[in-house]
Amino acid sequence: MKIDIRPIGNSLGVILPKPVLEAWGIGKGDRLTVTGKSLRPSRRSGLTPRALDELKRSIALAVVRDFTPSQIRAQILANLHRWRGQGVWVSAYDEWRDIAQRGDDGELFAMMLGRDDTATRLRESMPFVGLLSQSEVRRLHEEAAA
């Protein structure tokens, strides 16, 4: 397909047909990248909600594999204590605090790894960060993005 370069104000530009934009999966407000001699859609930065939750589940699974429930609960409570002191708090943290304080391993693992709505919602605010190495978390992010 050939597209004409047209004057647009004091600049030059192109008008892309809607079928091209639809094929690229982009629309108003999205960006294009100009590289060398090409024009292409910018890479999407981010995962779908389902893929993001799967990433969070994989992080939680790595934590469960590498740490005892006691270590996980201690990290949760330490993070929550620090975050409350910093004025960073969401209602999910109340639920995580209660789960950690009850000491029920099954409940802890169900919320970390479950696929139900409550577990999915709580994983959006994971308070067990800091247990895995940065390189392990980076590896899990790279796997999710592939």
Alpha helices in 67-116 (DSSP H): 69-85, 91-102, 105-113
Q: pTM (2 decimals)?
A: 0.68
Task: Tell me how far apart the alpha carbons of residues 110 and 113 are, in angstroms, rounded to a whole number.
Answer: 5
30 compared with 70, residue with greater pLDDT: 70
More confident residue, 52 or 39: 52
